[in-house]
Amino acid sequence: LHTCRAVHTDERNGVLRPLPLVNGVTYVPTSPGVCDACVSDAQVRAAWADLLLGQLPSHEAQARRSASRGLGEVCLEAYARFEAAYEAWLTEVKNHRWVAQEPPTLLWMVSEKERIVAASGLGDTFAAMKREENSVALAMLAELCEELDRAPRPSDEGGVAPALELALACCLAGNLFDAGAAELLAEESYCGSMDCDVDLESDSAPGLVLNNDVVAQTFRKTRTSCERGSWRYDDALELAQRLSCSSQPIRRAIIFCDNAGADVMGMVLLARTLLRLMDLRQVDGKVALVANSRPALNDITFQELTDFVDAARKSDKVIDELVSDGRSVCLPSGQHTTLLDLGRVS
């Protein structure tokens, strides 16, 4: 049993089923406006293919970065095979005249990429980057947990608990720490070039190469820009009401994690906050953190998620207690693509 109390499922038989909370008949994975446009519009399909082709220099840099550190079982010969096959396939996607029976949705396109990765024996090209960003995020975690604990208690008159607002802002800010976002971070956090030492590695590999203090400072400013009031869509009050209602309060939550680093840190903080709010209402709650079973770009994997949570337990006694009690668990999604399909989970 992993120390994160990870709940394993036997995926060797390849059985994936729709998540019970979605309608397996009418459910459409990802945004139809993004995904299905590839089916009917050749220009949209070509634009996505060009975007994916444009990621190849980043993939190569990350492959060299991981191989040089002996991480992710990355072989540069395998990378060369992958790039040649992937580039040829994307070129075919752009030029092929697809018939109605062969709908090339964006989900299908990114899934095909992972099949080419597996066939090439490439390994996890982003392994080094993910390890570095997880380390930087863990250095910020204790401070943010203390800030959450200092937040005022929710009032009996309703509204959104300050801790919940803070946790959601951390989730949004963490999402800005995506692959290749170092320069964007400086802009989003209102830092000038003289104020924030945001640099790429000498090989131009995307990702943050910063000391912990600078990253923490940048994250604080980014989080300020993500606080409630600046959101285009705001369902925080509805969530707060569901958590606090006396008849049928939320007792279970599944949080699907995306990128490594500050992104998954935000998800861990959200899980911690939801469970603390459940405790205030004396609700026997449980929250599952879910990650891809196998690598895809810089998305965190199930194994990396359990390692991250184990490390978080050492710096925060609340997370440690929630995991020890079995109220916070980690689950593998059964997937290995950058787009989530809730119609096929473990």
Which tens digit of pLDDT belongs to each residue from 76-115? 999 999 999 999 999 988 887 766 556 678 888 888 888 9
Report how far apart, in Å, the C-alpha atoms of 86 and of each of 44, 59, 159, 327 are: 19, 11, 50, 42
What is the model's pLDDT at position 30?
Answer: 66
Spatial distance between the Cα atoms of 246 and 256, rounded to a whole number of angstroms: 27
Q: Is the pLDDT of residue 242 over 80?
A: yes
Q: What is the rounded average pLDDT for all residues in the chain? A: 83
Q: Which range is least confidently modeled, 8-22, 71-85, 174-188, 213-227?
A: 174-188
What is the model's pLDDT at position 220?
Answer: 84
Residue 110's H or E segment, with its range, is helix 106-120
Q: Is the pLDDT of residue 204 over 50?
A: no
Residues 273 and 148 sit within 8 Å (Cβ to Cβ): yes
What is the model's pLDDT at position 267?
Answer: 97
